A and B are shown apart, each in its own frame.
Chain A
Amino acid sequence: MTDRLSGLVLLAFSLWFGVLAWNLPRSFFSDPTGSRAFPLALAVLLTLLALHLLLRPSHTLVVWPDRAAWPALGITIVTLIAYALLLEPLGFVVATVIVFTALALVFRAALPKAAVAAVGATVALYLLFGIVLELYLPTGEAFEGWFR
């Protein structure tokens, strides 16, 4: 059943991919192959594979997560997205403490322990990345005034 479903998703994707590939512009500078050849060939390959999954699905058993695990997965994904979005506005230190704590909680740590570990890890990583390796770490738009 999941094979059929993935075949259907894949079929939709390959058709969309094929349309995008078909509409690719031509380069001004001539080139015997052109920009469309490989993407179109791939679209055809993807379509055939999708049809194979749809029409001749294998019968492997897919074990989906327990009902209890879905909220935890959702929270994890949201936390990761939040990290990407908060790193610039809040800066490395604040964003990292928040995200570390949240993830530790997902893995069933007690809040005080999680918070202490988060602060410790953040300081350690700041020393390693920011001071030793001199890597670029965002200061945080919210705090920029303090440093300039």
Chain B
Amino acid sequence: MTEVFASLMGGFATAAQPVNLFVAFVGVLVGTIIGMLPGIGPINGIAILIPITFALGLEPTAMLILFAGIYYGSQYGNSISTILLNVPGTASSVATALDGYEMAKQGRGGPALAISAIASFVGGTLSVIGLMLFAPLLARWAISFGPAEYFVLMIFTFTTLSALTGRHFVKGLVSTALGLGVAMVGLDVTNVARFTFGQMRLFDGFDFVVVTIGLFAVSEVLVLVEGTRRGEAALLKMGRVMITAKEFTSSIWVMVRSSILGFAVGVLPGAGATIASFMAYTVEQRLVDRHSTFGTGDHRGVAAPEAANNAAVSGALIPLLTLGIPGSGTTAVILGALLALNLSPGPLFLTRNPDLFWSLVASMYIGNVMLLVLNLPLVGVFVRILLVPRWVLVPTVVVIAYVAVYSATSSSFDLLAMTAFGVIGYFMRKMHFPLAPVILAVVLGPLMEINFRRALSLSDGDYGIFASSPLVLGLWALVVVSLLLPLVFRRRRPAVAEAPERPEA
């Protein structure tokens, strides 16, 4: 333990040099700005920034700190556009939009951003501690998940779906089913082209950003057009900027629990930050949502996914650093960055490069702290985006989103698809079909199918593989509990079910 402490202090001594602090500051600032641009999002943002940062010729530790800063900054920047504009840049921030955007619409955009920054900080910090103390131990946990286990984990995540659907459970199922359908487009694991109509553009399926930006941002544009015709001029109200002590104390345990959950899910290379954020949201909805305020602008509904998705990312570093296996899209980019620094993360990374590991840990701490120090005071500035008149803001968002997607895919087809998803999303919203389950299904659906088929392929067609390990049986038990729990609760607490319904938003 003392050894860990000493090593960490060594890491800090390097990381806290003025040059490195400056680098962390620049990283967080640039990352925040890039992450905020709709359509670029954190993953592409980092992929684009990395080659540029190499031109600076910094030494490895400074580079690591710069990456960490860019990384945390871009994640947070993404939360800004998610909360204020309903434009989630990645799937892992869709759960944040559920309550975050509602808060912004009610004039509580400032508190939502503040909660998001604090939750990201808590998630980031707790998970770095987890990474530091348990990395080798948790590598075992990552390995123990095989295709059968992942399949049941996906089923479990689907059983928590009702938390996302609000009062229209059947419509939520329809949204889910449509998302599953969208996800089936493209080549499957055996190279059979499904629902592609011979279009090579569709072989890789719909790009994730295309679906999210279309369903959320483009449909939002249409909603705003409709509102303008009714005479609304400014985008949203401003309201107060900081959170209250009560908001903070009521969400601190939500953040802690979600960080732990997010970290544990993030360690699994086949799951990732999206599942972590949705799981944290749905779990907290069941644990703390006594008055059915989740989905109507509850700050805890922002705290949970934001803590979880940040924690999941440090969790994902564990399989990367101990086994050399990138879990999520973002870790794949981090892997690229480390490789370019001549560090090959792999099974021997920890033993061979202890110094760099501790620099990495220290840089993550510093990136996290810098994020809080820089962005919390800036919340007031960011919220001012909402004061920009609609006729400037909306065209700007549209142009950025379309050009960003085009520059990543060179495909007009993707832009047309994005527009089509926007129109579909608009009608779904009008008819009270929730959008978040579509995204969850787009992420989970392929994972569920691919892991099911992998499991059966590994067992050569023997269905026994879905009951072959204690872990998989434990996961089945979770599925059963998750399905039965709402029934039990409903019977025991009839008063809650009778609670007055709020008017449709």
Residues of A whose CB lies within 8 Å of any CB of B are: 2-3, 6, 10, 17, 20-21, 24-27, 29, 31-33, 35, 38-39, 42, 45-46, 49, 52-53, 58, 60-66, 68-69, 72-73, 76-77, 80-81, 83-85, 87-88, 92, 96, 99-100, 103-104, 106-109, 113-114, 117-118, 121-122, 125, 129, 133-138
Contacts and interface: CB of A to CB of B under 8 A. Distances in A.
B206 to A, nearest CB: 15
Contact of A27 (B191, B221, B400): B191
- Interface of A, secondary structure class, is helix
B192 interface: yes
A104 B390 CA distance: 8
Contact of A72 (B229, B396, B460): B229
B449 to A, nearest CB: 5
B104 interface: no
B408 to A, nearest CB: 8
Interface string B129-144: 0000000000000000
A103 B395 contact: yes
Interface of B: 34, 48-49, 52, 168, 170-171, 173-174, 177, 180-181, 184, 188-192, 194-195, 218, 221-222, 224-226, 228-230, 389-392, 394-396, 398-400, 402-404, 406-407, 410, 412, 415-416, 418-419, 422-423, 430-433, 449, 452-453, 456-457, 460-461, 504
A123 B388 CA distance: 19
Contact of B181 (A6, A17, A31): A17
A92 B392 CA distance: 18
Given A31-B189, A69-B225, A69-B230, 20 more contacts: A27-B191, A33-B457, A39-B195, A42-B180, A49-B173, A58-B171, A60-B432, A64-B430, A68-B229, A80-B218, A84-B419, A85-B416, A87-B403, A99-B399, A103-B394, A104-B391, A104-B392, A109-B392, A129-B403, A137-B407
Given A17-B181, A69-B225, A108-B228, A85 B430 contact: no
Nearest to A17: B181
B190 A31 contact: yes
